[in-house]
Amino acid sequence: MRVNVSCSVNIEEVPKVVKALASLYNDLKEQKNTHLQSLMTELDCDNITESLNQIDEIRKILLRMDEIMIDFESILSGYQRTMINIRAPQIEEDKDES
């Protein structure tokens, strides 16, 4: 079972968090490719049972990859909002000084 966990990090650390998720995503992509290669082999050998097992594993990995994409979107949207909010007062100050 998966749960959403919320945590706060310093704004400078957001890119590191996203990079860590990207690394996990890349690892999952490699796992998916390995299972896909196994699926192709099993299909060539007419091993339907193992082919179905490989399909199940691939689908689980794809689901996890999609969850990471959702996390990316959520983190980067929050980061973008924060950066806009940080810059907005600075823009107003610049306007007032002009």
Evaluate if pTM is beyond 0.85.
no
DSSP 4: -
The tens digit of pLDDT for each residue in 28-77 reads: 999 999 999 999 999 999 999 999 999 999 999 999 999 999 999 999 99
Determine which of 4-8, 74-78, 87-91 has the lowest per-residue pLDDT on average.
87-91
Task: Quote the CA–CA distance of 36 and 80 in Å, as a whole number.
Answer: 36
- 35 within 8 A of 54, measured Cβ to Cβ: yes
| Distance (Å, whole) CA 4 – CA 70 | 11
Nearest to 42 by CA among 53, 32, 31, 33: 53
- Break the chain into its structural domains and give their ranges: 23-92
Cα gap 62→88, rounded to integer Å = 39
DSSP states of 47-59 as a string? -HHHHHHHHHHHH
